[in-house]
Structure 1
């Protein structure tokens, strides 16, 4: 059962390739190693004194399997599996260590990709909302400005001269004076009526049909 080919050294980044090549390396040593990896060491169902050379070889297959696997491991990885008692335990422990880690890494990559996609989506929505907000503000400002411009003098209009401004201001002053005079007249009339009423009450004269008797 000589097998002089050196097994491939295990590298964590290339575990999938190592597993295939190591599996082929082991089963080419002996067909029954396939069974050992799946079910554990072969049990010889007879007294040890009755074992034949084939029985001793079969009984020792598990040790050969472990030795070849151990030879492919670095010191750090060997420290994680050296307590295993059978080739099957070593094989399954390595799969758990490396394929489990690979699955975790893959899950983390998928999670990061989803987070990145979600972040990009939120950014796009934010930009879109901001654009809509600016457009809306611009429309409101435009409408408000147009409304104000319809109520005030457009000083930027080329035909609007200094004389036009003076005339407009004079008109405003005249209108203000008229309003002020009208208000003052109303106040004076109100005060006169109040005084007249107080004088009537003070004199004690009766009032008939709105006239003093």
Structure 2
């Protein structure tokens, strides 16, 4: 079933990397300033609420809009875990730590994925489609952790991963 372009992608606690990418683009497509709020944190006026300018109020609304988008993407279980957060950045960071781990955990996962990438070979029993799916899972995982590999290296790796029987 297709996802509505008006509703944020739903997150049920599984397939976080997939959801994260979709949500990032969903928020950016609404208003790039919203993504800035998620990534950098909310604007906090240095004066009392009664003294806020129209610009201050507009900037504060961005955090509320970003929070609303995020909360609308959650079912009850995830919402319960995130509902105490007061900023979209806090929600995003909490989701990252919960689903990706701390920096040390991320580095370990990057290391494991890198090792998988470096040792990648086509298995004798798999067809090219399954091989490519497995390869994409590894490289997309690395990309999700900020370790993108240039296209020409990916192509070269795929070619070298084929068995000799392919005789290129």
1:145-156 equivalent positions in 2, closer than 5 A? none
Return the index of the structure with the highest Cα Rg.
Answer: 1
Map 1:124-203 to 2 at 5 A.
none
Q: Deviations over 1:30-49 (max 9, x none)?
A: 22223212321113456754
**Does structure 1 retain, via aligned residues, the 8 Å contact 2:8–2:26?**
yes
| Distance in 2 separating the partners of 1:73 and 1:38 | 19
- Map 1:98-113; keep pairs closer than 5 Å: 98-100=99-101
- With the length of structure 2 as denominator, give the TM-score of the two structures: 0.51
Distance 1:98 1:92 in 2: 10
How many residue pairs get matched?
102
Correspondence for 2:42: 41
CA 1:62 to 1:50, structure 2 compared with 1: closer, same or farther past 3 Å? closer
**2:53 equivalent to 1:51:** yes
Identify if the C-alpha distance between structure 1 residues 46 and 100 changes in structure 2 by more than 3 Å, giving closer, same or farther: closer
Asked if 1:78 corresponds to 2:79, the answer is: yes
How far off its partner does 1:51 sit? Answer: 1.6
Provide the rounded CA distance (Å) in 1 between the counterparts of 2:58 and 2:52: 14
What stretches of structure 1 move > 4 A for 4+ residues in a row?
A: 45-50
Map of 1:30 onto structure 2: 31
SS of alignment partner, residue 18 of structure 1: helix
1:14 — aligned with what?
Answer: 15
What's the TM-score once normalised by structure 1's chain length? 0.41
- Larger relative contact order, structure 1 or 2 (CA cutoff 8 Å, min sep 6): 2
Please give the alpha-carbon distance, in whole angstroms, between the structure 2 residues aligned to 1:81 and 1:43.
21
Higher helix share: 1
Q: Distance in 1 between matches of 2:19 and 2:28?
A: 14
Partners of 1:40 and 1:87 within 8 A in 2: yes
Two-structure CA RMSD over aligned residues (Å): 2.8
Say whether the 8 Å CA contact 2:13–2:78 is kept in structure 1: no
